[in-house]
Chain A
Amino acid sequence: MAEAYDRPLPVPQPESDFYWEKAKAHELWLRHCNGCGRTYFYPRDICPHCFSRETEWAQASGRGTLHAFGIVHRGPTPAFRDHVPYIVALVDLEEGARMPTTLVGVEPDPAHVRIGMALEVTFDDVTEAITLPRFRPAT
């Protein structure tokens, strides 16, 4: 990394250390509930759907579809202003959870971004400590 990374970084919390460690290993892991059978995002120990404590980590396929997007032309903070335009997205994962991300490998032009398009995860090592899961068109 030639230049210092200047955009916000996540501060992993005790319940999400595992998520970020796995991201660093280029794997996407979600929380799955054995009480109601649902997989959810973001990770927390007690299921937000049924409040069961019988939850565990499960590796995700990394595949999903585009649920919603925006093409950011005005960076929300100075750090993002050198990086516009970029595509923010909500992705419906195969496992049923929905997660926020950005798209890569897609022109930041509405003609090229289609809700429902098939996506797959890719990993961006933004610093030595942090890797961000992003999504690209499925191959």
Chain B
Amino acid sequence: MAERSASAAIVGVAESDEIGNVPGKSALQLHAEAAFNALEDAGLSKADVDGLFTAGYSTYDTGEYLGISPRYTDSTSVGGSSFVIHVGHAAAAIAAGRCEVALITHGQAGRSARAPVVRDAGLPIAQYESPYGIIGQPIAYSMAASRYMHRYGEDRTRQALAEIAVATRKWAVLNPKAMMREPLSFDDYHDSRWISYPFHLLDCCIVTDAGAAVVVTSAERARSLPKEPVWVLGAAEHHDHAGISQMGDLTLTPAHVTGPAALAEAGVTHDDIDLAMIYDSFTYTVLVTLESLGYCGPGEGPDFVADQRTAPGGDFPMNTSGGGLSYTHPGMYGIFLVVEAVRQLRGEAGARQVEDVRLSLVNGTGGSLSSTGTIVLGVG
């Protein structure tokens, strides 16, 4: 195979010093630690950064805190997918000569924040959903899952959700940074309490404190750095609603646009991908996203994930960090998908390393299945 390259590469990734239950740190502290660690991983310094990206906060807030005054700034904030979308934006900005070293940061004290995040009471979601107690993603996503079950069968859907929860935990057991490292049985899944039917507790991501950062730079600069560049081969983004009540088809996410587009830009197909990193805010998010991305047809997801196919040793390795379900999920999770994909592509994933990973597809999902960003990353 010819050497892969692209106009931009990921050259640094890291989490904050600690992730999980970190009551002693603010969200911005988590941003800063992750930024420090990712720049160190890249072999670059703060002075090299001229492009700044974040979501949740404005980049002028993170820029001030970090002491970075960029010439390219992007606070695209469309939920947990944002940071995957930022990778595509960074590659485009670098290709256009608008910046050379892009720093994407994230930090959230999802468990331990001392002040709640206040939302605009005038937004339609606040006006038409919140008064009914349709608040927060477990409730929104559970409604979507009920529609899927109605359409494609309750028992086989339930089995698929359990398969995903159990398989993902097996990966987390292998990741020292994961919060949930006790093995999980199918009985544990089925016996866990209801959060919002059809979701059990173990259909839902954990809630953690965590930060992460990603450094993207030009092909030329990347080749001068100590670690192997991870090329950004394709990227696409899409959103089609904000509130769950405005989602046209609850069984199809915006990944039906971003999956095919990112693969086409990379010039590869589903079968070429060695590792899938699929945002797992909920078990259902994975099921509906695999179908939306085109890995299988509508309603075929339960067959696709059957028999622990996505677990260690299975022929479709997925969410090898342990995912949002078992590794970490501070509120917006997308950047952690990128961190794990890069580690796997570099061969730095330790006990959970998948053999010979050359291409990874990363799909972030944000809001109420509202937005997705898909990127294809590769080495070699």
Contact = CB atoms under 8 A, between A and B. Distances in A.
Given A68-B147, A88-B132, A11 B196 contact: no
Contacts of A13: 122, 127
B56 interface: no
B139 A76 contact: yes
Interface in A54-101: 67-77, 80, 83, 85-86, 88-90, 98-101
A131 B303 CA distance: 45
B147 A70 contact: no
B131 A10 contact: yes
B interface majority secondary structure: helix
Interface stretch (B173-181, B242-250, B346-354): B242-250
Given A68-B143, A88-B134, A73 B127 contact: no
Interface string A116-127: 100000000010
Nearest to A83: B133
A12 interface: yes
Given A72-B133, A76-B136, A100 B142 contact: no
A70 B146 contact: yes
Contacts of B147: 67-68, 115
Contacts of B134: 88, 100
Interface in B89-139: 121-122, 124, 126-136, 138-139
Contacts of B150: 68, 115-116
A9 interface: yes
B195 A8 contact: no
A8 B198 contact: no
A87 B373 CA distance: 32
B154 to A, nearest CB: 9
Contact of A72 (B122, B139, B144): B139
B248 to A, nearest CB: 9
Contacts of A16: 127
Given A11-B122, A12-B127, A13-B122, A73 B195 contact: yes
Given A42-B124, A88-B143, A74 B245 contact: no
A110 interface: yes
B131 A8 contact: yes
Interface residues of B, number: 33
Given A7-B131, A88-B132, A110 B126 contact: no
B135 A100 contact: no
B186 interface: no
Nearest to A8: B130
A13, A85, A90 — which one has the most chain B CB atoms within 10 A of its CB?
A90
B128, B130, B245 — which one has the most chain A CB atoms within 10 A of its CB?
B245
B145 to A, nearest CB: 8
B128 A70 contact: no
A132 interface: yes
Contacts of B122: 11, 13
A39 to B, nearest CB: 14
B193 interface: yes
Contact of A73 (B124, B193, B245): B193
B65 interface: no
B150 to A, nearest CB: 4
B130, B146, B250 — which one has the most chain A CB atoms within 10 A of its CB?
B146
Given A67-B147, A100-B243, A10 B197 contact: no
Nearest to A71: B197
B146 A115 contact: yes
A76 B143 contact: no
A72 B194 CA distance: 8
Given A90-B143, A115-B150, A98 B133 contact: no
Interface of A: 7-13, 16, 41-42, 67-77, 80, 83, 85-86, 88-90, 98-102, 110, 115-116, 126, 130, 132, 134
Given A10-B131, A71-B196, A73-B196, 19 more contacts: A10-B128, A11-B121, A11-B126, A68-B143, A68-B147, A73-B197, A74-B193, A74-B196, A76-B135, A80-B135, A88-B133, A88-B196, A89-B143, A90-B244, A98-B245, A102-B132, A115-B146, A130-B131, A132-B131
29 contacts: A7-B133, A8-B130, A10-B128, A12-B127, A41-B128, A42-B128, A69-B143, A70-B142, A70-B196, A71-B196, A72-B197, A74-B138, A74-B193, A74-B195, A76-B136, A76-B138, A76-B139, A77-B135, A80-B135, A88-B134, A88-B143, A90-B143, A100-B129, A100-B244, A100-B245, A102-B133, A110-B197, A115-B150, A116-B150
CB-CB nearest 3 A-B residue pairs: A71-B197, A70-B142, A100-B245
